[in-house]
Amino acid sequence: MQKVNVICVGKLKEKFYIEAVAEYEKRLQRHCKLTVTELTEQRLSDSPSDAEIKKALAAEAEAIREKLPKGGAIIALCIEGKPQTSPQFAEKLQQFALEGRSQLTFLIGGSCGLDESIKKEADLRLSFSPMTFPHHLARVMLLEQIYRGYQILEGSKYHK
């Protein structure tokens, strides 16, 4: 059974996101050992300079590094990442397992994304779309796609 870690910058506040995440956490119990870690997003001024954003992203990257488990694969969610279909994503989950990478760590940045240094450390940069989504919604979407990936690998009818 794979271990799946999701490290998120930012905390869920809205009830509908919390409920959606809880539903996918429940569904994923039979497929993997899931851990979701929330990190505090750095506070920025109302009109932050590029330097202020860069400093905040660097601090968030350090906080992420402190929580990274040893070994396994790191997958960074970022807009410049590689888009994949759900079956391609399922194949990637399987490929990691076949390579002996039984631990997967997904990274979701805060409202300013992820620091370039942490993206460079990733084994895969993944994009859901060239569109920008709230990072809270990205968490729900990621958990759903992980669940869908396992369902595809099982041959279930969930993915149509």
Segment 5-26 shows an average pLDDT of 96
- Number of neighbours of residue 57 by Cβ within 10 angstroms: 21
Using only C-alpha atoms, the chain has a radius of gyration, in whole angstroms, of 15
Alpha-carbon span 31 to 147, nearest angstrom = 8
Domains delineated in the chain: 2-43+51-154 (3.40.1280.10)
> pLDDT tens digits, residue range 86-114?
999 999 999 998 898 889 999 999 989 99
> pTM for this structure?
0.94
Say whether 140 sits in a helix, a strand or coil.
helix
Locate 19 and state its tokens: 């409920």
- Indicate the angle between helix axes 135-154 and 86-98, nearest 10 degrees: 70
Closest CA to 20 of 141, 110, 133: 141
What is the CB-side half-sphere exposure of residue 97 using CA atoms within 13 A? 15
Q: What percent of the chain has pLDDT over 70?
A: 99
